[in-house]
Amino acid sequence: MARKIVITSGKGGVGKTTVAVNLAAQLSKKGQRVVLCDGDFGLNNVDVAAGVENLVSYDIIDAIEGRCRAKQALVKHPRYGNLYLLTSSHSSPERYVSPQAVKVVLDALAPNFDFILIDCPAGIDDGFHRAVATADEAIVVTTPHISALRDADKIITMLKSYRLTELSVAVNMLRGDLLLSGDCLSPKEIAELLKTPLLGVLPEEYRIYGGDLTDIHPAFKMLASNLLTGKRRLYDTTKKYSGLLGNIRRVLKRSL
């Protein structure tokens, strides 16, 4: 039976969808059968981020309204044989979809998969509650910025009102140069501030945000391993900024 995990954030622009897509791809590389469900019925861009937008025939609304079975609505990723995408409504994004209707579709898929990751819309409107109500676990994506952390704290408070078995935080866009100079909160400080355990950290690098799924960053490999094993190993974002060459990189990055 699949672990149903909602990936959410309080603030938009923290890289939540990027984290969801890369985490799903890495889990599939590790042999896990994964469904990545687009829970954002307004912007619905998971298929674009995963590079399968031209392969979509059915979406979750088709499955809900009986035009296809749940499995028929899945899009198999061409590079990752264990990864399937379940897109949200492209035809009528304004229509109301109940949490119960989405849950029925995901529950129908759950026996045949190991993970169902649900990419949640940012904010705390109906879309948030619909996505969270279908999940058993939650990962909150945030950045080290104060505004993102404040919103993440509010989201965590709301998530604690649901019956979730696991709740953790992934810190995204963490700059190792700022950590070394003391100009950024450390992962440990963020975990203490949010009173929630860290699942992992991800660096601010072009390789993550400017590429595609052909070359998954090692930080996502560590994040996926933590999710599978229950360990809490954190990627070292400061390593490339240590030593002589690292100091040069820090100077150059600050001058940009």
Region 173-195: what's the mean pLDDT?
A: 92
Region 119-146: what's the mean pLDDT?
A: 93
Q: What is the mean pLDDT of the chain?
A: 89
Region 179-183: what's the mean pLDDT?
A: 88
Q: What pLDDT was estimated at residue 177?
A: 87
Q: DSSP label at 183?
A: -
Is the pLDDT at 60 greater than 80? The verdict is yes
Q: Where are the beta strands (DSSP E) in the chain?
A: 3-8, 34-38, 74-76, 83-86, 115-119, 137-142, 166-174, 198-203
pLDDT band for position 132 (50/70/90)?
very high
| Pair of tokens at residue 87 | 């897109």
Q: What pLDDT was estimated at residue 225?
A: 97
Q: What pLDDT was estimated at residue 245?
A: 56
Q: What pLDDT was estimated at residue 14?
A: 94
Spatial CB neighbours of 228, under 8 Å, sequence gap ≥ 6: 27, 30, 32
Q: Classify each residue of 177-210 as buried b or exposed e, where b means 16 or more C-beta atoms within 10 Å of its C-beta.
A: bbbbeeebbbbeebbeebebebbbbbbbbeebee
Is the pLDDT at 3 greater than 90? The verdict is yes
Read off the pLDDT of residues 146-160 as tens digits, 9 standing for 90 and up. Answer: 999 999 999 999 999
Region 88-108: what's the mean pLDDT?
A: 83
Is the pLDDT at 104 greater than 90? The verdict is yes
Determine the Cα–Cα distance for residues 140 and 150; give it in Å rounded to an integer: 12
Determine the Cα–Cα distance for residues 232 and 222; give it in Å rounded to an integer: 9
pLDDT band for position 211 (50/70/90)?
very low
Is the pLDDT at 90 greater than 90? The verdict is no
Read off the pLDDT of residues 69-82 as tens digits, 9 standing for 90 and up. Answer: 999 999 999 999 99
Task: Name 7's bridge partners.
Answer: 119, 139
Q: DSSP label at 125?
A: S
Q: What pLDDT was estimated at residue 228?
A: 97
Region 185-211: what's the mean pLDDT?
A: 85
Could you tell me what percent of the chain has a pLDDT over 70?
88
Q: What pLDDT was estimated at residue 10?
A: 81
Determine the Cα–Cα distance for residues 20 and 5; give it in Å rounded to an integer: 10
| Pair of tokens at residue 34 | 């994964």
Q: What pLDDT was estimated at residue 42?
A: 79
CA dihedral 233, 237, 240, 241 (to 10 degrees): -130
pLDDT band for position 210 (50/70/90)?
very low
Residue of 118, 190, 97, 111 whose CA lies nearest to 149: 190
What is the CATH superfamily name and number for domain 3-255? P-loop containing nucleotide triphosphate hydrolases (3.40.50.300)
Is the pLDDT at 209 greater than 70? The verdict is no
